[in-house]
Structures are given as C-alpha cells and as structure tokens.
Amino acid sequence: MIDSDSQYFIDLGTILCDLFGFTQVENIELVYDRYRCSNYRISVDDQLFFLKRYSGRSSEEVFETKFAERFFASHAIPIVTSLQDRLGRPAFSYQGEWFSLFPFIQAPQPNPQCLSHAFLSSLGSELAKLHRVGSLVRLESFRRLRLWDVEQFMFELVDLKTLLENEQGHSGVLPIVLETMKGKIEFVQKKNKAPHEFTLPFDCLLHGDPIYQNTFITEEGKVLALFDLEDACVGPRAYEVGRAVMINCFEDGWGDEQFERARIFMESYQHVFPLSKGEFRQGVEMYMIKNAHKLWFEAKHLFDENDETRRCYEAHALRIQHLTEDWDLFCSRIHTVD
C-alpha cells in the first residue's frame, strides 16, 4: 500500500486539488501495478476516484488513448472516460509521467476462474459494436497495430537470456519459463509468415485490450463498461477478435468447454458485425504469431511474480504450446456460420 505520507504523493495530491478543485486528497493507494501503468485509489472529501499513471508513455500516445475513449463513448459504446481538469484536459503531466483521473466505478469485475456464458456473449456483442463504430474512423496519423519482427525478437532475446542466467544463479527459473522460451525460439527460427503476407486491412480503430480484466459487469454478469484503452490503435478487427477469443475463452484449457465459450462469443459478435471465416482465421494466426515474438512477459514474470502474474503467464505458456495448431480446423470449430 502506498499512501500520501511520501513527499511525491503529497505533491501529487496538491496538484490534484489545484486541477480538480478538491479540498484535500486524503489518501493515494496503489491498487494495481502492471506493465507500463500503475493504478491508484484516491480518497477525496468522502469520495473515491481512480488515478491511472501511464508510465513511459509519450504525450502523443496519451492523446490518442484519450481520443479513443471520447470517440467510442460519444458513439454509445460503454467506455469509462477520464475526467477533465479545470483546463479542459483529460490527462495531466507530473514529473515526466502522464496521469488521468477517472470516476471510481462501484461495480464487480468478472471472476477469471469462472467466466459465464452470459458475460462472453455480452463481450462479443459489445466488441462488435465497438468495431462497427471504429470502422468509421479514418485517422492516417493514429498509431497502427505493431506486429512482429524477427530481428527485434533476436535483439531482445540477448538481454532476456542474461536476465534468465542471473536469476538462475539466485533463486532459479521455473521450468515453465524455460520451456516456453524454448518453444518461442524454435517457432521464430522456423521463419513463419511475415506480417506482409496477411491480407487483413488496417481499417478499424481497435480497443487494444478487450479482455475480461478490462470490464465491469452487471449483477447478471453482462458487460456494464469497458476500460483501459491505452493500447488503442488502428488495425484489423479480425486480429482483435482472434486475440479476444484466445484470451477470454482459452485461458484455462483447450477442450470442449473452451471451444463452447469461443462459439458463444463469436456468435454474438457475428450477430452484430459479421466477420468471414477466412478473416477470422487470419486474425487468429496473426495474433498467435505475434504472441510467439513477445518476450516482455518472461521478464515481467521474473521480476513481478505474484499469483495473478503467475496465472496469466501459465495461460500465455499454454498458448505457446499450441502454436503449431491446425488453424483451419481450430477456427471451423468456433466460426460456424459462413
């Protein structure tokens, strides 16, 4: 827990009072620290707010995130948007970092151990609505989805191997990390498809991370609101659908129940904004190849190991085990409507 006793947080509290007209910030408590952002609960005058710190983000990236929030919210997509300060800004800078203040949403989040069919159906529908609206945006300057690069993978691998060797000399490295790394290296060295070999158009403003962790739900388990658009970008909606299917439906296994969840998600998406089976297949494969080229997950697992990080890494490792899946067969079990 981080409170406002330190000078850093005392000064931050003073800035919040100045920008938002608060009388006094009583407490600033860290509630979640994740890759490239930190989240805080703010207690002010018997009210609660949510403060997000965008670590390492440029002003351009933060502006695009804020644009995406406002754009989708203005088109009736249930996005949690940040509050504007007295200068009319949705974000402010403090000591070289960007922050946004949000209302504190008093609503539950899905249980990752038991994602209901009602939730998955609702999420599929909401994502389709978001993509239908996002396909109306034509922003040539908006950041594009970054895919994969073999040379970058090999470049980052050098540093990661050093980290693994150092950690092995101290507390050791879990076998699952070493096995997953081995699978990634073998896959990348086979020189699979390059990004330019895919024909999916970059013609939609994407949420960036439409997964269960970034939703609030109703008592009935349906999506109440989506949040965390810091990875919003322009890209193929089929890629984001494939990613959403993999993370929301195949976190805990690869069996009949997981395929049933994926069909429910996909049928709801299709009902709102149809996607061809060929596009879906490309989106799934594109996501899985990109997944194989990601190395930051291993580094985070080594230095920020907790129950949630461990659970997410195990799900990531499971996906790597299925890199050689027959994607035509896989997708035909999910996308059942031509």
Instruction: Give tens-digit pLDDT for 47-80.
Output: 999 999 998 889 999 999 999 999 999 999 999 9
Query: Are 80 and 103 a contacting pair, CB within 8 Å?
Result: yes
pLDDT-based confidence at residue 310 (cuts at 50, 70, 90): confident
Taking only the tens place, the pLDDT of each residue in 218-236 is 999 999 999 999 999 999 9
Residue 58 lies in a domain: yes
Q: Residue 196 is part of which domain span?
A: 117-332
**Structural domains in the chain (count):** 2
pLDDT-based confidence at residue 334 (cuts at 50, 70, 90): very high
Query: Are 145 and 202 a contacting pair, CB within 8 Å?
Result: yes
Rg of the chain over Cα atoms, rounded to whole angstroms, equals 21
Residue 305 lies in a domain: yes
- Residue ending a domain, among 103, 126, 143, is 103
Sheet holding 97-103, edge to edge: 25-34, 37-44, 47-54, 97-103, 92-94
Together in a domain, 184 and 260: yes
For residue 279, give every residue at least 6 positions away whose Cβ sits within 8 Å of its Cβ, in sequence order, or none: 200, 236, 238
Taking only the tens place, the pLDDT of each residue in 168-188 is 766 777 889 889 999 999 999
| Residues linked to residue 44 through DSSP beta bridges, in sequence order | 25, 47
**Percent of the chain residues topping a pLDDT of 70:** 95
- Residue ending a domain, among 73, 103, 133, is 103
pLDDT of 167 reads 78
Residue 109 lies in a domain: no
Taking only the tens place, the pLDDT of each residue in 17-58 is 999 999 999 999 988 655 556 889 999 988 999 999 998 889
Together in a domain, 202 and 67: no
pTM assigned to the model: 0.94
Give whole-number Cα distances, 331 to 128, 271, 336, in Å.
Answer: 18, 17, 8
* DSSP-H helix ranges across the chain: 7-20, 59-74, 117-134, 150-170, 175-189, 237-249, 256-272, 277-292, 296-303, 307-321, 327-332
- String of DSSP letters for 27-69: EEEEEEEETTEEEEEEEETTEEEEEEEETT--HHHHHHHHHHH
- Residue ending a domain, among 55, 79, 103, is 103
pLDDT of 280 reads 98
pLDDT of 191 reads 79
Domain with residue 47: its CATH number is 3.30.200.20
Task: Give the Cα separation of 291 and 174 in Å (integer).
Answer: 20
Tokens of residue 254, six digits? 């690869």
Q: Which helix (H) or strand (E) holds 232?
A: none
Together in a domain, 96 and 141: no
Average pLDDT over residues 194-221: 96
Task: Give the Cα separation of 149 and 147 in Å (integer).
Answer: 7
pLDDT of 35 reads 54
pLDDT of 37 reads 67
pLDDT-based confidence at residue 132 (cuts at 50, 70, 90): very high
Tokens of residue 93, six digits? 């800078």
pLDDT-based confidence at residue 103 (cuts at 50, 70, 90): very high
pLDDT of 46 reads 86
pLDDT of 169 reads 67
Together in a domain, 124 and 98: no
Taking only the tens place, the pLDDT of each residue in 257-297 is 999 999 999 999 999 999 999 999 999 999 999 999 999 88
For residue 191, give every residue at least 6 positions away whose Cβ sits within 8 Å of its Cβ, in sequence order, or none: 150
Tokens of residue 72, six digits? 């989708």
DSSP letter at 4 equals: T
Residue with token string 């461990």: 310
Residue with token string 């994926």: 262
Residue 306 lies in a domain: yes
Together in a domain, 244 and 95: no
Together in a domain, 243 and 160: yes
pLDDT-based confidence at residue 2 (cuts at 50, 70, 90): very low
Residue 244 lies in a domain: yes
| 3-state secondary structure at position 12 | helix
Task: Give the Cα separation of 146 and 233 in Å (integer).
Answer: 9
Residue 301 has pLDDT above 90, yes or no: no
pLDDT of 34 reads 58
Domain with residue 264: its CATH number is 3.90.1200.10
Residue 302 lies in a domain: yes
Tokens of residue 259, six digits? 């395929």
pLDDT of 294 reads 93
Together in a domain, 317 and 219: yes
Together in a domain, 264 and 305: yes
Q: What is the average pLDDT value for the chain, to the nearest integer?
A: 92
Average pLDDT over residues 300-309: 76
Instruction: Output the CA torsion 252→319→36→67 (10° steps).
Output: -90
Together in a domain, 126 and 169: yes
Residue 241 lies in a domain: yes
Together in a domain, 133 and 218: yes
Residue 3 has pLDDT above 70, yes or no: no
User: How big is the chain, counted in residues?
Assistant: 338
Together in a domain, 78 and 150: no
212: nearest Cα among 125, 112, 317? 112
Residue 138 has pLDDT above 90, yes or no: no
Average pLDDT over residues 102-126: 96
Together in a domain, 152 and 73: no
Residue 170 lies in a domain: yes
CA 261 distance to own-chain centroid: 19
